[in-house]
Structure 1
């Protein structure tokens, strides 16, 4: 199948948008120092994604919309790491107390903002995130974070699976290589979420002020 025919096939099969809901929350997934330290094996050169996510966060704060952050934290002996830790060696950077698991410069968590610590790719797996969003009356989760092909995608699929509307902000997600970044944005937009521009997300958030 040619690229043109493939694009047309996807348009016929998947050209549909859910749209934003009425009660959004924003999540910043795994924006931690490991991805910003050139000496770390997880370094991804994603400063632009963080800058975009912080602009979206500023708009969410101004609109009074809940803001959630995730990080990955393991027992000092990785007792709760499971197969994910066994497979992905760079996760050793997230043993409890590691400075590579800290927030990068420019990202400060507000006193009224929630941090969800996880051990697996999805922010939902093994955490209370779904129950929290339900309790808050949330119907839409706006996703930003790292990496697009990993924890963003896993969280996106689980957002949809738990009955929330997933909205992925393109510029506010990052990966260490453009190929998996673009491929996963494409696939999430086709099957699970609406992938929107930062500008579109900001316009929506400003409408909630």
Structure 2
């Protein structure tokens, strides 16, 4: 058995568990902003396929009456509300209020009944009212899509679990600038914090809710 096979076998023994979908989920579309789709931008990630998958999941969620939440990143022109994150990660300048790079990605526009949560840090829960909003609405679980897998998706996943929400991450509906961090973070989230599920699996689940 190779070292990689031994590692996978070890993880399977330790972490081979699924928590399943909740009964009252909400769908999150995390930071599908123009900068990630703009050729030549430092954040460009070639993640059109992830957005396409997220839009299909969103359509299934809306058909099932599942709440949809979109997040974006918005900073004061001085960056003061971004603190050490803004200081460290220079590409965050793309998300200063009014920047075209902070606009929604291609084909994505919030519907009137969809909640938009603007944040300054990686997690959609940190420094926002999202956890309270979901709890007040009786939501017991979240389905995550978005950008990037190794950044804001992972941070949101850990916080969702920490707030007590059953958490599912849709593999095809998340994206990153390189396959290695994308796959590594999906692997780790699935081991410890969430169920990583396929687009087909989550759409079938949502269709069942709407039946």
TM-score by length of 2: 0.98
Q: Secondary structure at the match of 2:80?
A: coil
* 2:144 aligned partner: 143
Instruction: Find the counterpart in structure 1 of residue 54 from structure 2.
Output: 53
2:124 corresponds to: 123
In structure 2, the residue matched to 1:202 is: 203
Paired residues for 1:90-169 under 5 Å: 90-169=91-170
Runs of 4+ in structure 1 deviating by more than 2 angstroms, as ranges, are: none
Q: Residues of 2 paired with 1:3 and 1:176: CA distance?
A: 24
TM-superposed deviation, 1:3: 1.1
Partner of 2:21: 20
2-structure distance, mates of 1:118, 1:138: 20
Summarize deviations over 1:1-33 as a string: whole Å, max 9, x none: 711111110010000000001000000000000
Task: Tell me the CA shift for residue 185 of structure 1.
Answer: 0.1
**Pairing 1:16-95 to 2, within 5 Å after superposition:** 16-95=17-96
Q: Secondary structure at the match of 1:125?
A: coil
Matches of 1:87 and 1:108 in 2, distance apart?
29
Gapped regions of structure 2 (runs ≥ 5) = none
Q: Deviations over 1:168-193 (max 9, x none)?
A: 00000000000000000000000000
After superposition, the CA RMSD in angstroms is: 0.7
Partner residue in 2 for 1:175: 176
Q: Deviations over 1:77-109 (max 9, x none)?
A: 112110000000000000000000001221011
- Write the distance in 2 (CA, Å) between the matches of 1:104 and 1:7: 36
Per-residue CA deviations over 1:97-127 (Å, capped at 9, x if unaligned) read 0000001221011000000000000000000
| C-alpha distance in 1 between matches for 2:200 and 2:75 | 36
How many angstroms does 1:158 deviate by?
0.1
Unaligned 5+ segments in structure 1 are none
In structure 1, distance between residues paired with 2:139 and 2:81: 29
TM-score norm. by structure 1 comes to 0.99
